[in-house]
Amino acid sequence: MNTHNTPQQKESRDSRAVTSIDVAKAAGVSQSAVSRTFTPGTAVSETTRLKVLEAAKKLGYRPNAIARTLSTSRSRIIGVVLSTLDNQFYPTAIESLSRSLQEHGLHVMLFMADGRDVDSALSQLLTYQLDGVVVASATLSSRIARECKALGISVVMFNRSAAGTQCSSVTSNNFEGGKLAARYLLDTGCKRIAYIAGRSDSSTNRDREAGVTLALAERGSQLVGREEGNYERRAAAAAAQTLMAQRIRPDAIIVASDFMAFAVIDYLRQKLSITVPEEVSIVSFDDVPAADWESYALTTVAQSVAALVNSTVSIILEQLNDREMVARDVIVSSQLVVRRTTRPLPAGSNA
C-alpha cells in the first residue's frame, strides 16, 4: 500500500486554509483558547498565549475576522461619522479614539457626512454590520436614532448632544467653559466683549454662548457684538471684520473654537495691524495642539480629549454587552489655559 502523498495531495493539503482547530491541535489547547489569544481584552494565560502564537507562526495561521463575525454576530466595527476634518480638534480626537478602540479589539470605519445632516451617511452606514456608531461634528435625527436602537447599534454623540434622540452623549462642560472665558476677560479689565459663534444650531456653541452671556450678566455687562463664524476660517475672519468695523469696537473677542480663533488673530494682525492682546484680547475653546504654537500662544478653554475618548469607549463597551442600551450623558470638566492672547490679571488679583 502506497502511504506517500502524491504531489496533488500535498498541494491540496498545503493550499488548505489553516484553521483555529489546526492551531489548537498543534498547541495542545482548546479552540476557545486560540480564539481568546487573538481577541484583545480577553483573558488567557501567558503560557497558553505563547503556545498558541508559536503554533500559529509555524502553521502560517491568520485569524479570519469575517468568520469570527459570522460565528459571534459581532463585527467589532465602530462607525465614526463626521461632517468635516478641518477643525484640528477632530483629527486629534479621532486618532485617540481609534487607538483606544483598537486596544479593546474594536476597529473604526470612517464615514463623512454631507454637510450638517448625518442621516444620509448613517443610512449607508447601517447597511454594514456595525456594533456601534460615534457621531461627531454632525447632527443626528431622532428617526435614525430610533432605527439604530431597533437594530441594537449603540450610538454615542461625541462632543455634542442631541435632544430627543435618546442617544448617549459625551461632552465637555461647555456652559461652564463659557463662563470661565468671560469671567477671565472681565477680571483682566476688558469691558467691551464680543462673541464669534460657531453654528447656532450646534449644542456645543449653544452651551458656550449661554455661559458667556450669563457670566457677563452677573457682572452687569453684555456682549457689544455677536457674529457667526460657522466653525469656518473665512466666515470667522469676516465676522472679525464686521465686529471691528462697528461703532463700539470690542476690546476682547470670545471665539467658539480655536480653529476660528486662528483666523481671527491672523485677520486682526495682518489686515488691520491690531495687536493681540494689547488692543484686543482673544479667548477661544478646544486647546488644539496649534494653540500652544509660539506664533499664536492662544488662551483657550481646554477640552480633555483623553477624558472624552475614555468616556465614549466606556459607553460603547458597556452597551455592547447590554442590549437594553440605556442612554448615558457624560459631561467632562473644562479648564481655562491662559497663554498670551489675553492681558495679564492685575497685580494682587485673586481671580
Q: What is the pLDDT of residue 68?
A: 52
By DSSP bridging, strand 299-302 and strand 281-286 are parallel
Q: What is the pLDDT of residue 201?
A: 81
Portion of the chain with pLDDT greater than 90, in percent:
52
Q: What is the mean pLDDT of residues 288-294?
A: 96
The reported pTM is 0.79
Question: For residue 320, is pLDDT > 80?
Answer: yes
What tens digit of pLDDT does each residue of 243-253 get? 999 999 999 99
Question: For residue 48, is pLDDT > 80?
Answer: yes
Question: For residue 300, is pLDDT > 90?
Answer: yes
Other Cβ atoms less than 10 A from the Cβ of 14: the count is: 9
Using an 8 Å Cβ cutoff, are 212 and 219 in contact?
no
The residue ranking higher by pLDDT, 179 or 47, is 179
Using an 8 Å Cβ cutoff, are 144 and 114 in contact?
no
Residue type (1 letter), 220: G
Question: For residue 144, is pLDDT > 80?
Answer: no
Question: For residue 164, is pLDDT > 80?
Answer: no
Residue type (1 letter), 90: Y
Nearest Cα neighbor of 23 from 40, 12, 36 is 36
**With b meaning 16 or more CB within 10 Å and e meaning fewer, what string describes 67-85?**
ebeeeeeebbbbbbbbbbe
Check residue 288 and give left, alpha or beta (phi > 0: left; psi -120 to 50: alpha). Answer: beta
Nearest Cα neighbor of 169 from 161, 178, 181 is 161
Using an 8 Å Cβ cutoff, are 211 and 178 in contact?
yes
Question: For residue 61, is pLDDT > 70?
Answer: yes
Q: What is the mean pLDDT of residues 53-80?
A: 70
What tens digit of pLDDT does each residue of 209-240 get? 999 999 999 999 999 999 999 999 999 999 99
Question: For residue 122, is pLDDT > 80?
Answer: no
Q: Which of 124-128, 189-193, 243-247, 302-306 has the lowest mean pLDDT?
A: 124-128
Q: What structural domains does the chain harbor?
A: 7-63 (1.10.260.40), 72-172+305-333 (3.40.50.2300), 174-303 (3.40.50.2300)
Q: What is the pLDDT of residue 205?
A: 94
Residues with Cβ within 8 Å of residue 140, at least 6 apart in sequence: 118, 119, 122, 155, 157, 162, 165, 167
The Cα 62–Cα 249 span in angstroms is: 66
| Residue count (the chain) | 351
The Cα 217–Cα 193 span in angstroms is: 12
3-class DSSP state of 219: coil
Tell me the pLDDT band of 196, cut-offs 50, 70 and 90: very high
The Cα 149–Cα 165 span in angstroms is: 10
Question: For residue 71, is pLDDT > 50?
Answer: no
Residue type (1 letter), 295: S
The Cα 133–Cα 101 span in angstroms is: 12
